[in-house]
Amino acid sequence: MNGKTKVGIGAAFALVAMTGLTGVDAKKGARSGQDYYAAQFHAPSLNGKVRYLLVNPFGETDGLLLHSGLVVKFPAHMSDQLVDHVRRGESVTVQGRVSHSGQEVKAWSIHNLASGRRLIAEAKPWGDLKPPKHIRYLALTPMIVRGTVAHVLVGKRGEVKTVILDEGVTARLPKHLARPFAAIQPGMTLSLSGRGSTTRVGKGIEVERVTYIEQ
């Protein structure tokens, strides 16, 4: 084996080490990419009016709640683009993959009918690395929010996983706080404490405690 061959093999191993990709990973990536674009081609179009923009606890706008009750999920790293693209009360056409429950759609395209602009979901940029969520969580602001339940998002087992309060407060319940749907329903008044963020379009909170307010 000559020197050039050794250098070439060494560079190849270095590339694998840096990217973490193997031949199997590359094939899986290619298949998933093909499946993704095939799914987009057959994605249904859903129309609705924006009720709230949804903010996660880290202050990223990663979705919409339509007046129909449909939750539109969008990549969190495109938060700024989504906020600039659509506002409350505007009508949109969404294309994406609808969940089995029919509660959510993972959108790849949001067409603002008022402006005529279309926002396309993009893959997360390479090198856009953030600390683990449990580390980021410690830096969030302690907060208490109170309001009337406007919408409830339910998990596979019927447990409440997200509560949206009036005025666009998005509250996410961790597994140990998950409640059955009968325990939290639209119209109830709650006080929620935890950690989260406040933005110009709403608040997002990771709930640590749920208190029911009698009316």
Encoded tokens for 198: 């406040």
Q: What's the alpha-carbon Rg for the chain, to the nearest Å?
A: 21
* 19-31 burial code (b ≥16 CB/10 A, e <16): eeeeeeeeeeeee
Q: How far apart are CA 140 and CA 198, in angstroms?
A: 10
Fold of the domain spanning 45-120: OB fold (Dihydrolipoamide Acetyltransferase, E2P) (2.40.50)
pLDDT at 176 exceeding the cut of 90: no
Average the pLDDT over 42-60 and give the result: 93
For the residues 162-179, what does the mean pLDDT come to? 91
How many C-alpha atoms does 139 have within 13 Å on its Cβ side? 8
Question: In the chain, pLDDT over 70 holds for what percent of residues?
Answer: 80
The pLDDT score that the predictor gives to residue 38 is: 44
CA 137 to chain centre: 16
Q: Which residues, other chains included, contact 156 with Cβ-Cβ below 8 Å and sequence gap of 6+?
A: 101
Mean pLDDT of 179-206: 93
- Where is mean pLDDT largest: 13-22, 43-52, 109-118? 109-118
Decide whether 45-120 matches 133-213 in CATH topology. Answer: yes
Of 9 and 49, the structure prediction assigns the larger pLDDT to: 49
**Which homologous superfamily is 133-213 in?**
Nucleic acid-binding proteins (2.40.50.140)
Which residue would you say has higher pLDDT here, 150 or 176? Answer: 150
Compute the C-alpha angle 183/51/212, nearest 5°.
25
Q: What is the pLDDT of residue 42?
A: 65
The three-point CA angle 78-146-165 to 5° equals 45
In the predicted model, is pLDDT for residue 12 greater than 80?
Answer: no
Whole-number average pLDDT of the chain? 83
Q: What is the pTM of this model?
A: 0.77
- The percent of residues above 90 in pLDDT, for the chain, comes to 61
User: Domain segments of the chain: what residues?
Assistant: 3-41, 45-120, 133-213
* pLDDT tens string 69-99: 999 999 999 999 999 999 999 999 999 999 9
For the cut 90, the answer to whether the pLDDT of residue 16 exceeds it is no
Which one has a higher pLDDT value, 190 or 12? 190
**pLDDT tens digits, residue range 54-73?**
999 999 999 999 999 999 99
Long-range contacts from 108-111, C-beta under 8 angstroms, 24+ separation: 108/40, 108/43, 109/40, 109/43, 110/64, 110/72, 110/74, 110/82, 110/85, 110/86
pLDDT, one tens digit per residue, over 106-162 is 999 999 999 999 999 999 888 777 777 778 888 899 999 999 999 999 988 888 999
Each as own residue / partner, the long-range contacts of residues 113-117 (CB below 8 Å, 24 or more positions apart, any chain) are 114/90, 115/85, 117/85
State which H helix or E strand residue 85 sits in. helix 79-85
